[in-house]
Amino acid sequence: MFFVFTSTCKVLCFASYVAANFLPLSAAAAAPDSSAEDDFQKLQRNESSSLHERARKVLELTWRTTTTRPGWRREKRSDDGDVIDSRRGPSRKIFRLTGRVELSPRRLLEELFHKIEQVPAWNPTVAKSQVLQKIDENTDITYQVTAKIAAGIISSRDFVVLRQWAEKEGHFIAAARSTSNNFKPEQDGIIRAHSGPGCWLISPIEHEPDACKVQWLMDTDLKGWLPRVAVDRAIPRAMEDFMRHLRSHVRTLRGR
């Protein structure tokens, strides 16, 4: 994977830096300049800080979009009672699903964020999910592959995503947006899609500690040669499917 290759390149560059700063070879001058290692560690910290800051901006943007931004239009109500709204973004529709899940807010955050690699075990719409790089306790970079949707009309897509979660005003929010392909090269036979700013906003329900309200913001460009009308119909169905599998998983968790 490219992120491993990138790290290897950094190590080689660091080694060259140290070699260039050796004193003439002698018993008294065999040790490299320790400041080189300090510089390398600073570089790594700066890169992590940059990713953290980008993720924080996505989180703030999706918080505003989900909680305060007007202009949402009703698309449908699912058989499970989820309401799906949409609004026009710069180049495509942005969707928001609002529903209820019978799990505490913190436990749902655990399932959707911290246990992201376990999602394919309970959700057949996700073929693969892995954490590529952990930035800090709240921020990481993940890789997901979706299964075919819309009866196979839309083939598998994959995403490289920068994510961050936070607790804001009594709510949990887990935000995400596509990031550089350098962390995972494109795979043969899978179209690399793009995720715009999206999030899960998980809110408590008064007097119901074992339930929560969820809002799921999705801004996705599936790429490939797909009619926009087909995509706009397929995405709400995919959101409904995900919620159906999530609720089935939650019933299993509550039965343990």
CB 175 within 8 A of CB 165: yes
In CATH, the architecture of 56-255 is 2-Layer Sandwich (3.30)
**Cα distance between residue 106 and residue 204, in whole Å:** 9
Note the pLDDT of residue 17.
Answer: 36
Note the pLDDT of residue 30.
Answer: 40
Note the pLDDT of residue 148.
Answer: 75
**Cα distance between residue 193 and residue 149, in whole Å:** 14
Residue with tokens 């343990």: 256
For the chain, the maximum distance between any two Cα atoms, rounded to a whole number of angstroms, is 78
Note the pLDDT of residue 138.
Answer: 97
**Cα distance between residue 55 and residue 57, in whole Å:** 5
Residue 100, C-beta contacts closer than 8 angstroms, at least 6 positions apart: 81, 205, 211, 212, 213, 214
pLDDT digits (tens, 9 = 90+) for 137-185: 999 999 999 987 655 567 889 999 999 999 999 999 999 999 988 889 9
Note the pLDDT of residue 23.
Answer: 37
With a cut of 50, list the residues of the chain below it in pLDDT: 1-34, 36-37, 39-44
User: Residue 88: beta bridge partners?
Assistant: 93
Which long-range contacts (C-beta less than 8 Å, at least 24 apart) are formed by 67-70? 67/201
If one counts every other C-beta atom within 10 angstroms of the C-beta of residue 254, the result is 11
**Cα distance between residue 214 and residue 81, in whole Å:** 12
pLDDT digits (tens, 9 = 90+) for 178-211: 998 888 999 888 999 999 999 999 999 999 999 9
Q: Hey, CA dihedral for 103, 105, 109, 115, is it positive or negative?
A: negative
Residue 14, C-beta contacts closer than 8 angstroms, at least 6 positions apart: 36, 37, 40
* Token digits of residue 29: 């001058």
pTM: 0.79
Residue 59, C-beta contacts closer than 8 angstroms, at least 6 positions apart: 164, 165, 166, 173, 175, 199
Note the pLDDT of residue 5.
Answer: 31
The closest alpha carbon to 159, from 134, 126, 201, belongs to: 126
CA 73 to each of CA 27, 86, 94: distance values in angstroms, whole numbers, following the listed order: 75, 5, 10
